[in-house]
Amino acid sequence: MNEAKGDLVPPCKSTCIKVLDSCNPEKMSEDTQKFVKEFIQPSTFFPQDCNNYPAEQCNDSPQLSIKPKCFSPLIEDQTWIKSNKSKDIDENFCQNGCCLPCPQSYSLYPPNKMQNGFLITQIIRAISAIGSGIMLISYLVLPGKRTHPSILILFASLMIFLFSSNVFFSIGNAKKIQCANEVTPSTQENNALCGIQGALLIFASHATVLWIGTIILSLHIHTVWNSNILSKRYIFIHTNCWGTPALLTIIALGKKSISYQFSTLCLVKVEDSNLLFFYPMAIVVVPSFFLHMATFVHIFRVFI
């Protein structure tokens, strides 16, 4: 309708035909037929004869607009508008010109609740990164901290610092990690920052576990068996603690498995997470836990 003059802009003939076809009683249930006949067909706007509607240039009127009407939290799909309804900015999250904005999980909660919660956790993680950085520096500069077994703690501190420092990729502006644009979630292909953060997180996570596992093994061997054998096995230790995380990270990048997953983190996709993240982690964590418990049991028996 032209709001200034109050006259109607007729739809296309094809639209009229589709309306009549959609309201064909033969395609409806009995209850739907009753509703259509009672409330829709009697309307003055319901078409009776499609021959009176224009068939050509019917969409060229300046009174018509292809802009969609999107209600919060949906936003307009500018790609859909500019392409005259032929393309979506992201077909997974857009339909008929309206899109669920990225990150989509925000739309499930009251405004700013998720953002404020993530900001608080980012601040805590930043403090943790600073603390681990101080510990790393102390092991670098203090005398005697770069020899076995303290050097194991030095490398573990380095990995904990790298693990914690991923927060600096997104603190204060989480969406630069979470989203490639206003609708599409980040992947390593559409957001280089997401790929870098994800690769660093995968590498640091595995390396942290391996170095801490090595510390536990060293403590057990020294305490229970009174041996310092690991001090002569650093070629094996470095190969394992750096090589294994690097290999898993390269595989994840090669499979293009890094994408935004949750919070403010890019990590391995769910379908690849067991193989590339959780199973390798469990192979180290579970034996390390039981080995650590065995060490405490031995110490407890000695003192008793």
Domain boundaries of the chain, sorted by first residue: 1-61, 113-303
Contacts of 260 (CB under 8 A, 6+ apart): 103, 177, 178, 179, 185, 186, 187, 191, 194, 266
Which of 231, 226, 220 lies closest to 149 in space, CA to CA? 231
In tens digits, what is the pLDDT along the chain, a chain of 304 residues?
A: 444 444 556 677 777 778 777 777 777 777 787 887 787 778 777 777 777 777 776 665 555 566 778 888 899 888 888 888 888 888 889 988 899 999 998 988 888 888 898 999 999 989 999 998 998 898 888 887 778 888 899 999 999 999 999 899 888 889 999 999 999 999 999 999 999 999 999 999 999 999 999 999 999 998 888 888 888 889 999 999 999 999 999 999 999 999 999 888 999 999 999 999 999 999 999 999 999 999 998 888 878 7
Q: Which amino acid is at 193?
A: L
Please, are residues 204 and 166 in contact by the beta-carbon 8 Å criterion? yes
CATH of domain 113-303: 1.20.1070.10
